[in-house]
């Protein structure tokens, strides 16, 4: 069965059947029909018992047949399967209805099913991770079977442009060999990320200090959500802003200073991305500053220190692990950011430290490789998964480290 | 004699100045961030605002035999280049639908071509000198007006800037939003209930917890790779469809819903659970009748915030092909569709200048949608959340 057939079966067949089963079984579970005997569970549990017996067997059959179909197997024609599913449901209904009697522990059965559902859904989140890791890993392995990992990690030229010829079996036609040296992409990513951290860390940290140490309560109530808005603005909007407003401004300023700047320079996406991640630095830093016990502040004041001395000499060292974790989170966020760089950074792999030149990043190349008309198994498409794997591993490491630091920090002061 | 020496006074002075400087820095930081926000919003509205009005021309349209064949012949040759091709194209269809039009010649307000619109708004345009004179003359005769741009809200995408609108993208976004909600809300809430109320404290539970926190921090573009490799290539969900978009964004939203639901469940005091157990409720009855209803405002607030983030997301949509050219609103979840952020991206890459203001206008629409979702979340939190 395919997806729409299952949906039809669900809405037209199984849902009415289940509802009918619920009504029948619940109606039967009345003491007067059993000579006034007391039922084990409240009557609606018998209703749900009936519903589950009529609903779950056809559902399991449908899912099983769907999985078989994905695996390329079709055990029987669709209409047979559908009829079988409805037959199973009907049989379940009859069985459930016949077994309704005062001794039946309907509540235990129904809650058992609920427990299993809960357990299954929490396991699903592991499946998602497994899905992400395996989908990226599997395609990336295919890529690395054709391009050596060493060349990928140390090569300084990225020009996958002719990879499609290889896929078409025409790699010997005298065109340049496709090159997959990712160093310029990572250099570009880190250049833009470094610019954004240069913006976000000082502003975010000082903003957090202001919010937690200087601001009055009403000011805090206004400014804290206002800062959070910055993180809520979609990145495609920031990208447009970077490309339309900031880039021309950077180019004009550079010109006025007598320096040449590319229209797609690294500075404008870096600046805009820096603003975007300010809230990541500020709200976590604000939290950790607030978590530093009041007694430490009071001890410092009692020795005659000013507010700023207290902050610099007592609070910041105490909150340092948390602040480091906040910066790491902002860092991982900036590395994985896509739309701003797609719209405002260039496509040209460029190994440079000059922020006024165009550079390209890992995420830009992933998008570029997958948005074109390449066949799915072409080397260029696969290269996107290779880059994705590196991105995944990198951000995971950053997240694990920052989560570890935060946990240690909490233990220290709680 | 004062006990404060000269050096101590000096030192005190410099310490006070340092204090002032430090305070100034922290004020400056917040000021910079907030003024960026204000400037940014102002810039978007300033760029997008003109797109909400559109030039229309009062043109003599003659519904003749020839224009039934070729729509361009319905207007003056001089006007032909100033009137939107989108209007001329539908003249034959109009005449077929209404035969009484044949032979009628009348003045009609007609959509102008985007270049005329840009010229009238004082923006760079590619009108020739003689065309500018014609527009000027029409303006003097009162045959030009700036009308509210209804087309922007009811049309789909178009290659002609003056005909392009956000309706198809809005419908696509609505489909994606509903699917995301349908997939992520039940699973997310059930997972959170399990972890918070039922799960034994064992290795598996710890793995699930670490895992969920990691999922929340994975870059969104990787969810796009997952959607492409698993949903499209393995499960054969139609590419570019709202279905694959909804599935992908649901995976992205689920950690947010799980985390906020757990926080909401944790804030329900234990005494309520104990009271329910005390009168003989089963664990599930405690959750279903007491804990979950009491936590519901927090759950819904978190869900809305997660959905607002999903609705503004575009990187995974590019990967799974939801930036296709969609002139008509999709009629189902398996048809090719686009979403508002993807539409913004497509327009922003268009070389025609007239699309710039439309992009900004679409951004204003997107920000309005996000703002109202967040406002709803804040309202619900303030109204229904109970402090115990």
What order do you get walking across the sheet with B105-111 strand by strand? B105-111, B53-62, B144-148
- How many interchain CB pairs under 8 A, A with B? 241
| Both tokens assigned to A206 | 């000082």
Output Rg (C-alpha) for chain B, integer angstroms.
30
Taking CB atoms and an 8 Å limit, are A111 and B282 in contact across chains? yes
Strand partners, A179: A159
Output Rg (C-alpha) for chain A, integer angstroms.
30
- Residue B88 gets the label, from left (phi > 0), alpha (psi -120 to 50) or beta, of alpha
How far is the alpha carbon of B85 from chain A, nearest alpha carbon, in Å? 28
CA distance A347 to A358: 8
DSSP B186-235: HHHHHHHHIIIII--SSHHHHHHHHHHHHHHHS-HHHHHHHIIIIIITTS
A-chain CB neighbours of B190 within 8 Å are 117-118, 121-122
- In this predicted structure, what is the pLDDT of residue B39? 94
- How would you write the pLDDT of chain B (388 residues) with one tens digit per residue? 567 788 888 988 999 999 999 999 999 999 999 999 999 999 999 999 888 988 888 888 888 877 777 777 778 877 888 888 888 888 888 888 888 888 888 888 888 888 888 888 888 888 888 888 888 888 888 888 888 988 889 888 888 888 888 999 999 999 999 999 999 999 999 999 999 988 888 888 888 888 888 888 899 999 999 998 888 888 888 888 899 999 999 999 999 999 999 999 999 999 999 999 999 999 999 999 999 999 998 899 999 999 999 999 999 999 998 887 888 888 888 888 899 999 999 999 887 888 888 999 999 999 999 999 988 988 888 888 777 7
The residue length of chain A stands at 414
Taking CB atoms and an 8 Å limit, are B214 and A203 in contact across chains? no
* Helix A267-291 × helix B6-48 angle, to 10°: 130
Strand pairing class (B53-62; A158-159): unpaired
Question: To probe the interface with B, which of A227, A239, A337, A338 has the most B CB atoms within 10 Å?
Answer: A338
CB atoms within 10 A of CB B153: 14
Say if residues A54 and A96 touch (Cβ distance below 8 Å): yes
List, as ranges, residues 36-65 from A with C-beta within 8 Å of B. Answer: none
Nearest to B285 by CA among A215, A234, A287, A42: A42
Say if residues B23 and A214 touch (Cβ distance below 8 Å): yes
How far is the alpha carbon of B195 from chain A, nearest alpha carbon, in Å? 7
DSSP A64-133: HHHHHHHTT---S-HHHHHHHHHHHHHHHHHHHHHH-STT--HHHHHHHHHHHHHHHHHHHHHHHHHHHH
> Is residue A263 over pLDDT 70?
yes
A-chain CB neighbours of B370 within 8 Å are 232-234
Nearest to A344 by CA among A270, A234, A252: A270
With 0-12 / 13-18 / 19 or more C-beta atoms within 10 angstroms meaning exposed / middle / buried, residue A155 is middle
Write phi, then psi, for B62 (nearest 5 degrees). -110, 120
List, as ranges, residues 366-405 from A with C-beta within 8 Å of B. Answer: 366-367, 370-371, 376, 384-385, 388, 391-392, 395-396, 399-400, 403
Taking CB atoms and an 8 Å limit, are A339 and B315 in contact across chains? yes
Among positive and negative, which fits the CA dihedral A30, A34, A39, A41? negative
Provide the percentage of residues in chain A whose pLDDT is more than 70: 94
Out of A229, A237, A332, name the one closest to residue B217 (CB): A332
User: Which secondary-structure segment (H or E) carries A21?
Assistant: helix A15-28
Strand partners, B106: B61
Question: To probe the interface with A, which of B12, B27, B40 has the most A CB atoms within 10 Å?
Answer: B40
Question: To probe the interface with A, which of B11, B15, B29, B332 has the most A CB atoms within 10 Å?
Answer: B29
> Is residue A356 over pLDDT 90?
no
DSSP A182-199: -HHHHHHHHHHHHHHHHH
- In this predicted structure, what is the pLDDT of residue A165? 53
ipTM: 0.90
A-chain residue closest to B222, CA distance:
A388
pLDDT top residue among A56 and B99: A56
pLDDT tens readout for residues A201-248? 999 999 999 999 999 999 998 898 889 889 889 999 999 999 999 999
Task: Name the 3-class secondary structure at B48.
Answer: helix
Measured CA to CA in angstroms, residue B71 lies from A306, B76, B94, B160, B163 at distances of 80, 11, 10, 17, 17
Question: To probe the interface with B, which of A339, A367, A381, A385 has the most B CB atoms within 10 Å?
Answer: A339
Judged by a CB distance cut-off of 8 A, whether residue A88 touches chain B is no
Helices (DSSP H) in chain B: which residue ranges? 6-48, 65-69, 77-80, 85-97, 114-120, 129-140, 151-154, 167-193, 203-217, 220-226, 242-266, 270-278, 283-286, 292-311, 315-319, 340-348, 354-384
CA distance A231 to A212: 19
CB proximity list for A28: less than 8 A, separation 6 or greater? A46, A97, A100
pLDDT tens readout for residues A124-157? 888 888 888 888 888 889 888 888 888 888 888 8
CA distance B214 to A337: 16
- In this predicted structure, what is the pLDDT of residue A414? 65
| Both tokens assigned to B208 | 């699930």
pLDDT tens readout for residues A314-332? 999 999 999 999 999 999 9
- In this predicted structure, what is the pLDDT of residue A332? 93
Mean pLDDT of chain A: 87
* Residue burial A238-259, b: 16+ Cβ < 10 Å; e: rest: bbbbbbbbbbeebbeebeeeee
- In this predicted structure, what is the pLDDT of residue B339? 92
Please state the rounded mean pLDDT for residues A252-281: 91
CA distance A314 to A321: 13
DSSP A280-344: HHHHHHHHHHHHS-HHHHHHHHHTT--HHHHIIIIIHHHHHHHHHHHHHHHHHHHHH--HHHHHH
A-chain CB neighbours of B37 within 8 Å are 226, 229-230
- In this predicted structure, what is the pLDDT of residue B127? 83
Question: To probe the interface with B, which of A41, A63, A205, A240 has the most B CB atoms within 10 Å?
Answer: A240
- In this predicted structure, what is the pLDDT of residue B163? 87
User: Which secondary-structure segment (H or E) carries A49?
Assistant: helix A43-70
CA distance A233 to B217: 17
> Is residue A313 over pLDDT 80?
yes
Among positive and negative, which fits the CA dihedral A241, A244, A247, A253? negative
* Helix A78-99 × helix A15-28 angle, to 10°: 10
Say if residues A369 and A178 touch (Cβ distance below 8 Å): no
Taking CB atoms and an 8 Å limit, are B215 and A128 in contact across chains? yes
Task: Name the 3-class secondary structure at B153.
Answer: helix
Taking CB atoms and an 8 Å limit, are B194 and A307 in contact across chains? no
SS (H, E, C) B265-304: HHCCCHHHHHHHHHCCCCHHHHHHHHHHHHHHHHHHHHHH
With 0-12 / 13-18 / 19 or more C-beta atoms within 10 angstroms meaning exposed / middle / buried, residue A294 is exposed
CB atoms within 10 A of CB A173: 8
Out of A125, A138, A227, name the one closest to residue B254 (CB): A125
CA distance B127 to B116: 7
- In this predicted structure, what is the pLDDT of residue B232? 87
Number of alpha carbons in the 13 Å side-chain half-sphere of residue A17: 25
Give the pLDDT band of residue A172 (cuts 50, 70, 90).
low
Say if residues B305 and B256 touch (Cβ distance below 8 Å): yes
B-chain CB neighbours of A121 within 8 Å are 186-187, 190-191, 194
CB atoms within 10 A of CB B233: 15
Nearest to B184 by CA among A121, A234, A9, A64: A121
Judged by a CB distance cut-off of 8 A, whether residue A11 touches chain B is no
> Is residue A384 over pLDDT 70?
yes
Out of B15, B319, B348, name the one closest to residue A240 (CB): B348
pLDDT top residue among A243 and A169: A243
The residue length of chain B stands at 388
CA distance B378 to B183: 24
């Amino acid at each position: 069965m395919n997806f729409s057939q299952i949906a039809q079966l669900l809405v037209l067949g199984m849902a009415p059947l289940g509802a009918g089963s619920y009504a029948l079984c619940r109606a039967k579970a009345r003491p007067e029909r059993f000579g006034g005997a007391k039922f084990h569970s409240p009557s609606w549990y018998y209703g749900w018992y009936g519903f589950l017996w009529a609903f779950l067997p056809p559902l399991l059959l449908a899912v099983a047949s769907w999985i078989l179909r994905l695996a390329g197997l079709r055990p029987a024609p669709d209409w047979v399967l559908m009829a079988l599913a409805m037959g199973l449901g009907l049989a379940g209904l009859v069985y459930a209805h016949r077994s309704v009697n005062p001794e039946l522990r309907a509540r235990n059965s129904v809650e058992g099913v609920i427990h299993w559902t809960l357990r299954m859904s929490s396991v699903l989140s592991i499946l998602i991770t497994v899905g992400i890791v395996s989908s990226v890993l599997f395609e990336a392995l295919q890529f690395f079977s054709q391009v050596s990992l060493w060349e990928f990690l140390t090569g300084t030229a990225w020009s996958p442009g002719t990879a499609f010829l290889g896929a078409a079996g025409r790699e010997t036609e005298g065109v340049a060999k496709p090159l997959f040296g990712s160093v310029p992409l990572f250099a570009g990513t880190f250049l833009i990320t470094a610019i954004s951290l240069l913006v976000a860390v000082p502003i975010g940290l000082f903003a957090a200090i202001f919010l937690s140490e200087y601001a009055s309560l009403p000011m805090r109530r206004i400014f804290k959500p206002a800062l959070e808005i910055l993180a809520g603005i979609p990145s495609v909007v920031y990208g447009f802003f970077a490309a339309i407003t900031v880039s021309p401004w950077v180019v004009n300023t550079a010109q006025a200073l007598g320096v040449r700047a590319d229209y797609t320079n690294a500075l404008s996406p870096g600046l805009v991305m820096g603003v975007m991640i300010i809230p990541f630095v500020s709200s976590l830093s604000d939290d950790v500053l607030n978590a530093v016990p009041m007694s430490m502040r009071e001890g410092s004041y009692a020795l005659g220190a000013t507010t700023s001395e207290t902050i610099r000499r007592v609070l910041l060292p105490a909150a340092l692990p948390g602040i480091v974790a906040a910066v790491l989170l902002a860092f991982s966020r900036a590395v994985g950011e896509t739309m701003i760089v797609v719209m405002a950074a260039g496509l040209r792999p460029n190994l440079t430290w000059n922020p006024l030149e165009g550079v390209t990043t890992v995420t830009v190349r992933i998008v570029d490789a997958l948005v074109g008309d390449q066949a799915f198994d072409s080397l260029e498409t696969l290269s996107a998964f290779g880059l994705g794997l590196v991105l995944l591993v990198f951000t995971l490491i950053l997240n694990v480290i920052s989560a570890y630091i935060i946990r240690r920090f909490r233990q220290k002061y709680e | 004699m004062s006990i404060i020496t000269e050096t101590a006074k000096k030192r005190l002075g410099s310490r006070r100045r340092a204090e002032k400087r430090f305070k100034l820095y922290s004020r400056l930081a917040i000021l910079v961030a907030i003024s960026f926000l204000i400037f940014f919003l102002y810039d978007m509205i300033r760029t997008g605002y003109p797109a909400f009005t559109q030039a229309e021309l009062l043109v003599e349209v003659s519904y003749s035999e020839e224009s039934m064949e070729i729509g361009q012949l319905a207007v003056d040759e001089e006007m032909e280049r100033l009137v939107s091709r989108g209007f001329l194209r539908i003249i034959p269809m109009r005449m077929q639908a209404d035969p009484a039009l044949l032979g009628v010649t009348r003045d009609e307000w007609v959509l102008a071509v985007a270049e005329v619109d840009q010229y009238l708004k004082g923006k760079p345009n590619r009108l020739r000198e003689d065309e500018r004179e014609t527009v000027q003359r029409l303006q003097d005769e009162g045959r030009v007006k700036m009308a509210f741009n209804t087309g922007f809200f009811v049309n789909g995408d178009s290659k002609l800037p003056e005909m392009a609108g956000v309706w198809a993208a809005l419908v696509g976004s609505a489909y994606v939003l509903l699917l995301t909600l349908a997939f992520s809300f039940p699973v997310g809430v059930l997972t959170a209930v399990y972890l918070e109320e039922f799960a034994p404290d064992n290795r598996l539970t710890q793995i699930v917890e670490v895992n969920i926190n990691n999922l929340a921090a994975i870059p969104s573009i990787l969810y796009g790779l997952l959607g492409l490799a698993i949903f499209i290539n393995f499960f054969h969900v139609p590419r570019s469809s709202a279905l694959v978009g909804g599935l992908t964004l649901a995976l992205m939203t689920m950690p947010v819903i799980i985390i906020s639901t757990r926080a909401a469940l944790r804030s329900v005091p234990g005494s309520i659970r104990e009271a329910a157990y005390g009168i003989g409720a089963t664990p599930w009855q405690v959750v279903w009748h007491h804990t979950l209803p009491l936590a519901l405002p927090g759950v819904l607030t978190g869900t809305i915030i997660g959905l607002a983030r999903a609705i503004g997301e575009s990187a995974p949509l590019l990967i799974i092909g939801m930036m296709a050219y969609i002139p008509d609103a999709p009629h189902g979840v398996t048809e090719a569709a686009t979403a508002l952020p993807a539409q913004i991206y497509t327009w922003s890459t268009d070389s025609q200048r007239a699309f710039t203001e439309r992009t900004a206008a679409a951004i204003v629409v997107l920000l309005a949608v996000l703002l109202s979702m967040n406002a709803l979340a804040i309202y619900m939190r303030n109204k229904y959340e109970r402090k115990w």
